[in-house]
Amino acid sequence: MRALLVMLIVLAVPATAAAQTARRIVAVAPLTALGAEDTSASAKKVQADLEAAVAAIENTQVIGAKAALAAVKKAKRPELRVCEGDLVCLAELGKLLGADLVVAGEAGGLGDVKVVYLQLVAVETGKPVRSTTLEVGDGSSGGSEGAAYRLLAPDRYVGTTTLNVDAAGATIYVDGKRLGKSPSPPIELSVGTHALRVTHPEYRDFVRFVDVGFQANTTIDVALQQFPIVSSEITGGPAANVTYLDKPAPWYRKWWAIAAFSGIVAIGAAATAGIIADGVDADTVRPVEP
């Protein structure tokens, strides 16, 4: 029994060590500007913020710029101090540090750093994984934290949207994809602009664009407008309060009046036909002897 217990402990130790070594190691190279190491105060702050943001991502171990420079100096490889975005140089720096990935940044200029162009390089292959831009002071994109997520965990670069829909059972679409019906819990969406449509058979569609910020919640009040209700009623039979009177027909609608009028018309037509037959113009006017 004791031997079995010892065996289980021995087997558990490597498993724990394997779980710990599963953490990826990311080296953050020193920021550069115009082909040289940027040692300005603003660059140092961006560097520190970026390293802290990368370290905050789950299962990530960070090797900072100070440790990288110390390792380069110790290995007497000054060519790795400033790689200027060269993939071979960055891969060699990662191998020297024992990293899986390397984050390299190029500042937009000397002095106060406003924009940093970042790229993530895989050490084993020496190829770029992805790149992004860090805009200092841009709250909507998440600053250094947002840049770290875009590089290392893009699927978690998200925000949420809460919809307050004033009608139950309305169908919610985002970017043409059906997400559910109201009422709905907060919807997780990638950072950026999305097309929202809320539809209900008894209401007009609600359509608008939604801007989602990093790790921020956007609340939208969806006020649906109901279609106008048109009702009509068709009834048979006579209308109410109508009295019909049985009056005799007037004289000109009697049968004898109609027959006499028809005879006059017939005689006139015959006379006209006779005049035409005699070669006399019906429109000619001439005196007639008594």
Q: What is the pLDDT of residues 112-165, one digit of tens each?
A: 657 899 999 999 999 999 999 998 877 678 899 999 999 999 999 999 999 999
Say whether both 81 and 173 belong to one domain: no
Say whether both 43 and 133 belong to one domain: yes
How confident is the model at residue 141, as a pLDDT?
80
Residue 71 lies in a domain: yes
Mean pLDDT of all residues in 184-203:
95
Say whether both 119 and 200 belong to one domain: no
Q: Is the pLDDT of residue 245 over 90?
A: no
Say whether both 151 and 50 belong to one domain: yes
Residue 9 lies in a domain: no
Closest C-alpha to 152, from 239, 54, 32: 54
Q: Is the pLDDT of residue 202 over 70?
A: yes
Q: Is the pLDDT of residue 100 over 90?
A: yes
Say whether both 126 and 202 belong to one domain: no
Task: Tell me the Cα Rg of the chain.
Answer: 46
Q: What tens digit of pLDDT does each residue of 4-18 get?
A: 444 444 445 454 444
Residue 177 lies in a domain: yes
Residue 210 lies in a domain: yes
What string of DSSP letters covers the chain? -HHHHHHHHHHHHHHHHHHHHTSEEEEEPPPEETTEE--SHHHHHHHHHHHHHHHHSTTEEEE-HHHHHHHHHHHT-GGGS--TT-HHHHHHHHHHHT-SEEEEEEESSSSS--EEEEEEEETTT--EEEEEEEETT-TTTTHHHHHHHHHH-GGG-EEEEEEEESSTT-EEEETTEEEEESS-PPEEEESEEEEEEEEETTEEEEEEEEEE-TT-EEEEEE-PPBPPP-------SPPTT-----PPPPGGGSHHHHHHHHHHHHHHHHHHHHHHHTT--TT-------
Say whether both 151 and 172 belong to one domain: no
Residues contacting residue 105 through CB under 8 Å, at least 6 positions apart: 28, 29, 31, 32, 46, 47, 50, 116, 117, 118, 134
261 pLDDT tier (thresholds 50, 70, 90): low
CATH number at residue 197: 2.60.40.10
Percent of the chain with pLDDT over 90: 58
For the ranges 38-47, 89-98, 240-249, the maximum mean pLDDT occurs at 89-98
Say whether both 25 and 68 belong to one domain: yes
Say whether both 190 and 143 belong to one domain: no
- Which residue has better confidence, 179 or 227? 179
Q: Is the pLDDT of residue 263 over 70?
A: no
Say whether both 79 and 106 belong to one domain: yes
Say whether both 145 and 198 belong to one domain: no
37 pLDDT tier (thresholds 50, 70, 90): confident
Q: What tens digit of pLDDT does each residue of 178-189 get?
A: 999 999 999 999
Mean pLDDT of all residues in 220-242:
67
From 156, 174, 204, the end of a domain falls on 156
Say whether both 99 and 173 belong to one domain: no
Rounded mean pLDDT of the chain? Answer: 81
How confident is the model at residue 17, as a pLDDT?
44
From 139, 156, 173, the end of a domain falls on 156
Q: How many domains in the chain?
A: 2
CATH number at residue 65: 3.40.50.10610
Residue 142 lies in a domain: yes
Q: What tens digit of pLDDT does each residue of 40-89 get?
A: 888 899 999 999 999 999 999 999 999 999 999 999 999 999 998 899 99
Residue 279 lies in a domain: no
How confident is the model at residue 113, as a pLDDT?
59
Say if CB 103 and CB 31 are below 8 A apart: no
Taking the mean position of all CA atoms in its chain, how far away is CA 184? 17
Q: Is the pLDDT of residue 255 over 90?
A: no
Domain span holding position 164: 158-222
Residue 164 lies in a domain: yes
How confident is the model at residue 206, as a pLDDT?
96
From 98, 124, 156, the end of a domain falls on 156
Q: Is the pLDDT of residue 19 over 50?
A: no
Mean pLDDT of all residues in 215-233:
80
How confident is the model at residue 275, as a pLDDT?
46
Say whether both 147 and 204 belong to one domain: no
Residue 230 lies in a domain: no
